[in-house]
């Protein structure tokens, strides 16, 4: 039997290499399994809720909205605390506690006899959703700045793998029992936590840890770090716009393709699988090479430009074939995210990486809360009163407009930032 990993960071000249060799594969697997655990329940959650409310569709829809919002709100408040704790006590305990906590939360939802218990499970799931943020800080600890975009690209590829596997597995098991995916996801999270106990070393040495300041353990306090570093506020605004814009596609994707192209679930499944495979290839293979050739800032600018083109083409695509073609620049635009993440991590000290990732996760949870609400309303207005199918693309074009603003900020970034604060 393999002995548990030494939780202390190794010392000596080979320390960084040793931690990277042991930690990076686990972090990638953790990201993948974390996404699998979350997305595995998506296909069956509406069905389970519908059973609990007695088959009344409108009531079920409202409750699903509440459950989705509850997760985002819980994560918004928990992310800064989790980030601060990882800066104080290290990444390893925070990652492992989050993983084991996720397993317990999913088991609660599997056993939930009422909607209140299901809501409790979703809230706890949001509160423990810190594994990804701490994992990103872990990578910043052990990876040189010039390699971070490449590493984040691999983590994004791992996440896309989870996006492909999770719903597919959940759909298959959910056809047998709507609670089965919750049990399976809980088992996956538990196995991942046990694996982490065995192989994951600590990445943040004790002499680089920050004291706890509870003023930083709230969403507003965590953002004080962002506003205290030259250039970081603009990068954070670009991140906010980028993530918010993505909900223009994600929140109406099923409705949009069914309304405009008459796609059925099989067509959706084929497209999502193909797109996921391309995204994995782009983020794992193209991101690192692009940053090596062009640098992080140029990759960010180019990636956002591709996303503007992609959003515009998707919103104007008259047929399903054109929709497929238009998503190619959208897939290529995935090089922007890892480059932006790497640029942001370069702005803070090692003992602040957890706070930074907590703030970023807080931003992400806000966009996850308000983005779907905003863009589904835009879609509803666009297709109201018998307007033609072309109007449905207005939602996607709104995403293009937001990304265009982010692109403009990325072009302007660096012109008014002190030279020593720039990220090359």
What is the pLDDT, as a whole number, of residue 237?
94
Query: Structure pTM?
Result: 0.77
Residue 37 has a pLDDT of 75
**What is residue 377's predicted lDDT score, i.e. its pLDDT?**
82
pLDDT (tens, 9 = 90+) of the chain, 424 residues, equals 344 444 555 444 444 565 566 677 888 888 888 788 777 777 777 778 878 877 666 677 678 778 877 888 888 888 888 888 888 888 889 889 988 988 998 899 889 888 889 889 888 888 887 667 788 888 888 888 888 888 888 888 888 888 888 888 887 887 788 888 889 888 988 988 898 888 888 888 887 787 777 766 667 767 777 888 888 899 999 999 999 999 888 888 877 888 889 888 678 778 888 888 899 999 888 888 999 899 999 999 999 999 999 999 999 999 999 999 999 999 999 999 999 989 998 888 887 888 888 888 878 888 888 888 888 888 888 887 666 777 888 889 999 999 999 999 999 986 544 434 444 4
Quote the strand ranges of 360-422, DSSP E: none
Q: How far is CA 9 from the centre of its chain?
A: 27
Q: Which residues does 101 contact at the CB level (< 8 Å), separation at least 6?
A: 124, 127, 128
pLDDT score recorded for residue 125? 83
Q: How far apart, in whole angstroms, are the C-alpha atoms of residue 78 and residue 253?
A: 29
**pLDDT score, position 176:** 82
Residue 216 backbone class (left: φ over 0; alpha: ψ -120 to 50; beta: rest): alpha
Tally of CA atoms within 13 A in the half-sphere of 285 that contains its CB: 8
Cβ within 8 Å of residue 414, ≥6 positions away? 231, 297, 422
- Compute the distance between CA of residue 370 and CA of residue 375 in angstroms, rounded to an integer: 9
Domains, the chain, ordered by start = 1-206 (1.20.1250.20), 216-416+420-424 (1.20.1250.20)
pLDDT confidence of residue 85: 83
- What pLDDT, on a 0 to 100 scale, did the predictor assign at position 356? 86
For residue 263, the model assigns a pLDDT of 85
Long-range contacts of 62-71 (CB under 8 A, 24+ apart): 63/115, 66/119, 67/118, 67/119, 67/122, 68/372, 69/369, 70/119, 70/122, 70/123, 70/126, 71/122, 71/123, 71/125, 71/126, 71/129
């Amino acid at each position: 039997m393999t002995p548990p990993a030494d939780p202390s960071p190794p010392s000596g000249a080979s320390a960084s290499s040793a931690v990277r060799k042991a930690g990076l594969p686990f972090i990638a697997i953790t990201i993948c399994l974390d996404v699998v655990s979350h997305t595995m329940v998506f296909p069956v959650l509406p069905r389970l809720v519908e059973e609990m409310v007695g088959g009344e569709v409108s009531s079920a829809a409202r409750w699903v909205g509440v459950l989705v919002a509850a997760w985002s709100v819980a994560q918004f408040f928990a992310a800064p605390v989790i980030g601060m704790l990882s800066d104080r006590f290290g990444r390893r305990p925070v990652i492992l506690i989050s993983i084991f906590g996720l397993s317990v939360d999913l088991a609660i939802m599997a056993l939930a006899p009422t909607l209140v218990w299901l809501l409790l499970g979703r809230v706890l799931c949001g509160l423990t959703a810190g594994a990804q943020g701490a994992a990103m800080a872990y990578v910043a600890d052990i990876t040189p700045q010039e390699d971070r975009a490449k590493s984040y690209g691999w983590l994004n590829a791992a996440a896309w793998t989870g996006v492909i596997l999770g719903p597919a597995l959940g759909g298959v098991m959910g056809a047998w029992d709507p609670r089965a995916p919750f049990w399976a996801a809980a088992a996956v999270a538990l196995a991942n936590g046990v694996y982490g106990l065995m192989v994951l070393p600590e990445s943040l040495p004790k002499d680089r840890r920050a004291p706890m300041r509870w003023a930083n353990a709230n969403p507003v306090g965590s953002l004080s770090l962002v506003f205290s570093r030259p250039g970081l506020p603009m990068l954070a605004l670009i991140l906010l716009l980028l993530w918010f814009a993505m909900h223009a596609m994600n929140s109406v994707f099923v409705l949009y393709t069914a309304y405009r192209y008459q796609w059925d679930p099989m067509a959706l499944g084929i497209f999502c699988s193909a797109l996921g495979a391309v995204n994995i290839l782009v983020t794992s293979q193209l991101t690192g090479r692009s940053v090596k050739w062009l640098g992080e800032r140029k990759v960010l600018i180019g990636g956002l430009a591709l996303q503007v083109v992609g959003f515009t083409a998707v919103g104007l695509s008259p047929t399903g074939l054109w929709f497929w073609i238009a998503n190619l620049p959208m897939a290529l635009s995935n090089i922007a995210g890892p480059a932006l993440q790497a640029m942001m991590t370069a702005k803070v000290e090692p003992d602040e990486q957890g706070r930074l990732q907590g703030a970023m996760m807080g931003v992400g949870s806000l966009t996850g809360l308000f983005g779907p609400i905003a863009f589904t309303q835009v879609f509803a207005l666009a297709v109201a009163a018998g307007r033609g199918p072309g109007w449905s693309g207005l939602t996607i074009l709104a995403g293009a407009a937001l990304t265009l603003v982010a692109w403009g900020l990325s072009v302007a970034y660096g012109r008014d930032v002190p030279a020593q604060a720039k990220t090359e």
